[in-house]
A and B are shown apart, each in its own frame.
Chain A
Amino acid sequence: MSEHPKDKPTLKDTIRQAANESFPPTPPRATVTPPAPATRPPTGKSGRRAAAAKRKDFPWFLGFFRITTVRIISQTVFFSLFVFLIWVTWFSRLGGYPVSLFLETDPLVSVATALSTGTVYRGLFKALWVLIPTLILGRVFCNWMCPYGTLHQFVGWVFNIRSNKNDIEKNRYRPIYQLKYIILAVFLILSAFGSLQIGLLDPICLLVRTCVVTVSPAMDLSSMALAKFLVDTNVTWVDPSFLSTSPGATDQRVFYGAWFVGALIIALVGMNLVIPRFFCRVLCPLGAFLGVLSRFSLWRIDRDVTKCTDCDLCLKGCAGASDPQAALRKSECFVCFNCIDDCPEDALSFRLTPLPAKDRIVGNIKAGTASLFGKKVISKISETEIKGPDLPRRRWVFASIGGVLAYPFLRLSAAVNDRGFNEKVIRPPGSVEESEFLERCIKCDQCISVCPTNVLQPSTLAQGGLEGLWTPVMDFSIGFCQLNCTLCSEVCPTGAIQKISLEKKLGAEEHVEEGPIRLGTAFFNRGRCLPWAMETPCVVCEEVCPTSPKAIGTYDEEVTRWDGTKVMLNRPYMRPELCIGCGICEHECPVIDDAAVYVTAVGETRSKNRSLLLESKDPQSGT
């Protein structure tokens, strides 16, 4: 701004007259910044509003109905909707809400799963709701709907301490912004091979996962603290359970690796202080995907070279770093409209298929003799558009090779294939066979969110390797799979956990032939079992075993203990053909550190290769 040449006013006046405008000379700035040099043009929004009011072109309040205001309202609505849908992802709140809405409308989820499975599961067609607007308007999703983008923008705005000049510099395009296209290429190629890894960085998956694993439990904790406080102060008119994301859960929910998921979001969001919209510009594979699509978009921001004075003020709030001051990078533009709002010359507009000005300019720009359709060209930059992503072809090739190599690197890790699988990777009921599971699971962790017993946990690197990271596995020391519950299968957006009926889970009615869904098989460790090893009565495991008849039986035996007392011991054993691997025995076992009865994945229904017993058609086993 300070470089705004003083010797230009005559030129400027000319433009203004040409544009038929009566711009007041340096209207007062209403912001709290120290008095600006007199040469500063009116940059603040309030300054422009005041200017507009002085002009009396339109009533003052119309100033609030700017397109950027509408955009902020849209972002608020979508963000609130997102939070609401996270909040209702719980047994007593579900009530038919489309909890997977954001995940299903995420085009990267749909396209990547279509690549990996060759199908579009259940609600994933909803991605069209984002895909089509992108093809018409560009990356509107990023700055109008995406809750993660909203979070980044909001944090960047609240904690911004930069001067306007510095803002402009921070919003210039940088080559590092190519990285997201490389990430996208690697992910898509991996998907085509059958390894779905988009969930690691897809913004919706990432945000849902973060909410599930860190934010929700934190909310529960504060709800509990508030409840305690209210009881202590005898306040009864407010019920703090609305704050809780798991009302009615007996224990505070805990999640493996919560610290890491939490640290990651703090780091990613914190990067906004260094580079605005760091995640969106540098890492976001969904943004990259929409960026590739938006090269075709019909509308784009267009710069009128006959008005543009190359002041760069459009960069002040540019969310995507898309160079609106020069050749607009269509693939980077988030369509936030800040540039239009900030342009003091009204040189920018959002237009349907604008003509590239460059070829139509007559005369020499450097000599100042250029004109476009008879109007004098003011800007020194004649290009107005760069269509596709700025990633050189050789880098696309490099990225593709990376993707091709990543598949064997990941899949040949012993943790995920049948030959070296981790026995504690026990998948939720309805899950498809492991290799298909990895084609579908986007690590959004919605199943983990809705699980009423907290048994579902995000897999650690140790359990599933990088490929299985954050996918749902059961940990029976924390919870157990509740017999009459199929909630995880209801909320899975991609069919990694197929939507199953309760009858199918239990092997009832028309599913009697198939029998119940088994998650694994329970085993006794007689060396740790109280009745077996310690002459102490117990059999909690038999009591809680939910099958009928029970999968745990007992050998009843009266023994004389070391001190001469007689004690009746019910020594438990497994009836493996009845066991469904629900893990309630392991969960309730009083030997809590390393349970005397424990479930492992062998015998799970979903995998023939991991079966334990000879297949039996005994109707007894199908109860």
Chain B
Amino acid sequence: MHQKNIKRRLKEIGIPILFFICFLIVWELSVIFLKFPEYILPQPTKILNEIITNLGKFLMHTGITMSEAIIGYLIANLLGFLVAVIFVHYRTIEKGFYPYAIALKTTPIIAMAPLLILWFGTGIASKIVASAIVCFFPILVNTIKGLRSVDDDSLDLFKSYSASKWQIFTKLSLPTALPYIFSALKISTGLAVVGAIVGEFVGANKGIGYIILVSTYHLQTVTMFAGIIMSALIGVLFFWIISLIEKKFVFWQGSKNGF
């Protein structure tokens, strides 16, 4: 039984990796034989070489982008959660603010980015804010939906124990909402990185977004690809960590989406 599980896991991980390696080989060979110029499509081996020889530089910039994304993510999710709790308990406040929350959500972050640079400067603050703005809505919407998904029967049960509001919140509403909350936490890992990189595109002198932008100016496509790969890795790593935490906290079911 156990061995069978390991075999299945190997298959699950092994097959995508195998496909990826095939893809890289086809890419490598087609660049060599079709003679694409390097500034259009560089060879994968060259990109890898670029990352390895300049590992220090790439890690430094990746680290900066990652910090911006994580800080923005944490602020947004904490704030979004608190606002959701307030909205659920005070209907009037929700009615008053919700339309504007939606309006802010529909405004593209790229349209707001120049303003953020103007207000918060070209340092990491503006990127943190950009990240936070895009991460704010998933957690807000999902927490509201999750807290409202408590069924009446369970509520009756708690009322029959004369449970306090706080007890109902911590022992019933919050665990009920957890699958929704984690769904939002996973969605916004990717969004957080997008926010940070958009911020860096508009005005920065550090970070992966900055590396990508500068390499475009100089037609250093190899560096650009390396930057794209690093940004993808940040997103994947971030998503993976949150998924692991989710498995630990929401073991009784998968995540639920409130959208």
The reply to whether chain A is a binding partner of chain B is no
B residues with CB within 8 A of A: none
A residues with CB within 8 A of B: none
